[in-house]
């Protein structure tokens, strides 16, 4: 891929903010002015409500794959001559184009209003559970608040999906209230932590949970920013009537925190400009459906075959786009499996936090970046969920036309991971908690965003802080192929192997292996 297309975004004017302009940042020396290389470095719902959030998460995944993307009309390497002129923003608030080469000043930050909205959201959720649903855990009082403030943190025993799926989603609600009030990724992080801490202390009569705060806060950043970007692609501040209503409702279902904030501030019906950054330079969604054969880790036998549906998206390309803010480039992949008691088999998101160019040649590049990862694996008896960050080396070599080879080496620091194990007297959850370190190698041959052949290898060591007295080694390997057949249709398959070695002092390893094989039809 030799050329990158930046689709012309909507004009940026905003009558609700100061309309001062600032010059576009100067392109760094050694980079090309067309933006094709060289990037400046970027300096709960409680566990008891897991089913409601599970349904919400399903809606999120389906909407994310279904709605039309602004930038999907052109591939990443479309010639610059194919760019369409920038559409004018509709509405009375923006009548003239912004001067070429200039951008609007960043939005005002409303920190106290954001904190008030987070508090109101927590109060509303608590009120529903206390007075309508009559939940015992919602019976709080000044006495329970005092005990929670002075009693310290514990590790709760909620189910895996509640802690590793529901809590990050809930954290995304806090996060998006902050983002919609003008806070950046880094500025919204403390607000997400405060929202989680507020709920743990004042929203339940259970002792505050350390794993809940970590999963809600850190997981909420990754899940929340993905939802913020996707809902931005749906919203159009210049639309009116039924179109405006449909967009606001769809974005609110996808991103409840942002939808709540827009209603509170009146933005849901105020006509104005659509910010330039809401339109990504590159975006692609894809899906697959097929047959999955899964091994039985406990019995060593082949399990029943199942229907599997996969959804994925790619937002931004770090090799051809100008990188300015965290998650300007991110990817999401999810697998939905039809089986009793489970619907989400695997989900992962990775967002680029910062990047700089190390080597730039006509046909190949090497970048140094930092990523945030959210991982969720739930395949029967094998469960792993983790919040982690990495330092990464990214490599791209252009072969011919749009065909290229890409590779990445990630050195991860795992803030907190949950790993399934056998329940014991000290751990009724059925999984352990702890931090760790890991390394991941990824390589693929394809044409962005389509990977024709790929391989992923990952190894992590997790030190148990709460659970059975053992540490864990986690290994995951995956080979996959997705061959174009006709236009956007492809045929492919993948082979995965999950292995967990539980380490106990003076004892042999207790390995558990779960192989998976699938064939599928894909559409891009």
CA of residue 414 relative to chain centroid, distance: 16
| Mean pLDDT of all residues in 317-332 | 95
Rg of the chain (C-alpha set): 23
Q: Rounded to the nearest 5°, which phi and psi values hold at 359?
A: -135, 135
Q: pLDDT (tens digit, 9 = 90+) per residue, 187-228?
A: 999 999 999 999 999 999 999 999 999 999 999 999 999 999
Q: What is the DSSP letter of 297?
A: T
Q: Residue 43: is its pLDDT beyond 50?
A: no
Q: Which residue has the higher pLDDT, 6 or 415?
A: 415
Could you give the CA distance from residue 219 to residue 182 in angstroms, rounded to a whole number?
20
Q: Which residue has the higher pLDDT, 10 or 498?
A: 498
Residue listed under structure tokens 């806060």? 217
Could you give the CA distance from residue 353 to residue 179 in angstroms, rounded to a whole number?
16
Q: Of 67-76, 173-182, 260-269, 330-339, give the lowest mean pLDDT range.
A: 67-76
Q: Residue 71: is its pLDDT beyond 60?
A: no
Q: Which residue has the higher pLDDT, 102 or 237?
A: 237
Report cis status (omega within 30 of 0) of the bond before 233. no
Cβ contacts of 55 within 8 Å, gap of 6 or more: none
Residue listed under structure tokens 């920013």? 225
| Mean pLDDT of all residues in 319-329 | 94
Contact 335, 345 (CB under 8 A): yes
**If phi over 0 gives left and psi between -120 and 50 gives alpha, with beta otherwise, what is residue 318?**
alpha
Contact 195, 168 (CB under 8 A): no
CA angle at 215 for the pair 441 and 339, rounded to the nearest 5°: 75
Q: Which residue has the higher pLDDT, 381 or 46?
A: 381
| Mean pLDDT of all residues in 302-323 | 90
Contact 362, 221 (CB under 8 A): no
Res. 294 pLDDT band, cuts 50 70 90 = confident
Q: Residue 44: is its pLDDT beyond 50?
A: no
Contact 515, 295 (CB under 8 A): yes
Res. 379 pLDDT band, cuts 50 70 90 = confident
* 283-316+329-523 classified as CATH 2.40.160: yes
Contact 442, 422 (CB under 8 A): no
Could you give the CA distance from residue 488 to residue 288 in angstroms, rounded to a whole number?
11
Of 39-48, 60-69, 254-263, the range with the highest mean pLDDT is 254-263
Could you give the CA distance from residue 420 to residue 430 in angstroms, rounded to a whole number?
6
Given this model, what pLDDT does residue 341 score?
65
Q: Which residue has the higher pLDDT, 83 or 112?
A: 112
Q: What percent of the chain has pLDDT over 70?
A: 75
> In the chain, where does the domain assigned CATH 2.40.160 lie?
283-316+329-523
Return the beta strands (E) in 63-145 as ranges: 102-104
Q: pTM to 2 decimals?
A: 0.80
**If phi over 0 gives left and psi between -120 and 50 gives alpha, with beta otherwise, what is residue 407?**
beta
Given this model, what pLDDT does residue 299 score?
53
Cβ contacts of 5 within 8 Å, gap of 6 or more: 74, 75, 76, 77, 78, 79, 80, 82, 83, 281, 282
* Average pLDDT, rounded, for the chain: 81
Q: pLDDT (tens digit, 9 = 90+) per residue, 241-252?
A: 999 999 999 999
Q: Rounded to the nearest 5°, which phi and psi values hold at 10?
A: -65, 155
């Amino acid at each position: 891929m030799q050329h990158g297309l930046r689709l012309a975004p909507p004009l940026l004017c905003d009558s609700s903010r100061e309309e001062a302009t600032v010059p576009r940042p100067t392109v760094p020396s050694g980079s090309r002015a067309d933006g094709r290389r060289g990037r400046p470095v970027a300096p709960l719902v409680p566990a008891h409500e897991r089913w409601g959030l599970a349904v919400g998460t399903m809606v999120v995944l389906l909407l994310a794959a279904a709605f039309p993307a602004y930038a999907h009309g052109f591939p990443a390497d479309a010639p610059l001559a194919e760019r369409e002129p920038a559409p004018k923003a509709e509405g009375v608030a923006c009548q003239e184009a912004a001067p070429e080469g200039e951008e609007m000043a960043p939005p005002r930050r409303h920190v106290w209003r954001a904190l008030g909205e987070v508090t109101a959201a927590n109060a509303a959720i608590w009120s529903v559970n206390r007075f309508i649903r009559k939940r015992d855990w919602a019976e709080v009082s000044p006495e329970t608040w005092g005990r929670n403030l002075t009693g310290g943190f514990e590790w709760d025993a909620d189910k895996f999906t509640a802690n590793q799926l529901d809590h990050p989603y809930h954290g995304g609600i806090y996060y998006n209230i902050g983002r919609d009030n003008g806070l950046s990724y880094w500025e919204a992080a403390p607000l997400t932590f405060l929202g989680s801490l507020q709920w743990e202390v004042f929203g339940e009569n259970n002792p505050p949970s350390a794993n809940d705060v970590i999963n809600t806060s850190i997981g909420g950043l990754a899940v929340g920013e993905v939802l913020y970007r996707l809902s931005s692609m749906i919203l159009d501040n210049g639309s009116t009537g039924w179109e405006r209503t449909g967009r606001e409702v769809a974005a609110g279902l996808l991103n409840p925190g942002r939808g709540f904030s827009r209603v509170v501030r009146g933005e849901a019906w105020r006509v104005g400009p659509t910010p330039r950054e809401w339109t990504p330079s590159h975006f692609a969604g894809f899906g697959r459906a097929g047959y999955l054969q899964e091994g039985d880790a406990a019995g060593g036998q082949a399990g029943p075959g199942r229907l599997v549906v996969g959804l994925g998206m790619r937002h931004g390309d770090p090799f051809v786009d100008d990188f300015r803010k965290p998650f300007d480039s991110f990817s999401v992949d999810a697998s939905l499996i039809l089986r009793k008691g489970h619907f989400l088999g695997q989900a992962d998101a990775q967002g680029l936090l910062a990047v700089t160019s190390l080597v730039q040649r006509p046909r190949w590049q090497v970048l140094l970046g930092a990523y945030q990862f959210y991982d969720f694996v739930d395949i029967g008896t094998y469960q792993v969920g983790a919040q982690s960050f990495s330092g990464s080396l990214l490599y791209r070599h252009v072969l011919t036309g749009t065909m290229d080879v890409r590779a990445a080496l990630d050195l991860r620091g795992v803030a907190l991971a949950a790993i399934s194990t056998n329940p014991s007297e000290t751990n009724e959850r059925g999984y352990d908690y702890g931090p760790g370190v890991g390394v991941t190698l990824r390589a693929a041959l394809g044409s962005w965003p389509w990977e024709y052949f790929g391989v992923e290898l990952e190894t992590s060591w997790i030190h148990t802080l709460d659970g059975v007295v053992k540490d864990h080694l986690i290994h995951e390997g995956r080979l996959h192929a997705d061959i174009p057949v006709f236009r956007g249709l492809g045929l492919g398959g993948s082979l995965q192997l999950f292995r967990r070695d539980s380490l106990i002092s003076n004892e042999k390893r207790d390995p558990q292996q779960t192989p998976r094989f699938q064939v599928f039809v894909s559409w891009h």
